[in-house]
Amino acid sequence: MRLIKTKAELIDALSSVHENIALVPTMGALHEGHLSLVSAARAENDLVVASIFVNPLQFADLGDCDDYRNYPRTLEADAQLLESAGVDIIFAPDIEEMYPQGTPEIWVRTGEMGAQLEGASRPGHFDGVATVVAKLFSLVRPHRAYFGQKDAQQLAVIKRMVHDLDLRVDIRAVP
């Protein structure tokens, strides 16, 4: 297993891969639910990439809040779990690597879909999720990406983004 922290190294590592690539996007602090995403990904693909990135854009005030500051960051333990689960590459960029110019100017806008239900009490949350997931899709170029059904609205928003933006990735929903 490789732990990769930069986009350049990730792109280089994936450039010669011609088999099916899976992406399991996470924010770390992994639990059984994440491992079931990994095991579904492992069963259906040749190479499994898991990302670990606590994305400030999906928190209140773009991360200027206690929820973001106190979010558990447990990279070492997460890496051990992912290695035992058969992940090939962990992509764990820091914030400057992911957003070198700070908050991006261009976002994915999730409209009405992102403004209702959970989005009603978390304005901008789903725009932040969709934006970082679009970036991860662009970097990893996975054939399949795995999301938990537990986060039902997130799953619906990601599926709709893939449809509306013609992104070439198969979204797999895992219980």
Contacts of 49 (CB under 8 A, 6+ apart): 10, 14, 21, 22, 23, 24, 87, 88, 89, 90, 91, 140, 142
Phi and psi at residue 19, to the nearest 5°? -85, 180
By Cβ distance, which residue is nearest to ligand PAF? Answer: 25
33 versus 111: smaller Cβ distance to ligand PAF: 33
DSSP 11: H
> Which two structure tokens, joined as six digits, stand for 63?
């991360």
Closest approach, Cβ 124 to ligand PAF, in A, equals 13
Closest approach, Cβ 129 to ligand PAF, in A, equals 5
- Cα separation, 41 vs 168, in Å, equals 17
Is 34 annotated in the active site? yes
**Contact (CB, 8 A) for 138 and 118:** no
Closest approach, Cβ 57 to ligand PAF, in A, equals 8
Binding site for ligand PAF (CB under 6 A): 25-27, 55, 58, 129, 132-133, 151, 154
Q: Which one from 18, 31, 34, 163 is the annotated catalytic residue?
A: 34
> Which two structure tokens, joined as six digits, stand for 34?
């994440």
Closest approach, Cβ 8 to ligand PAF, in A, equals 21
16 versus 104: smaller Cβ distance to ligand PAF: 104
- Burial of 97 per CB tally in 10 Å (0-12, 13-18, 19+): middle
Q: Which residues are catalytic?
A: 34
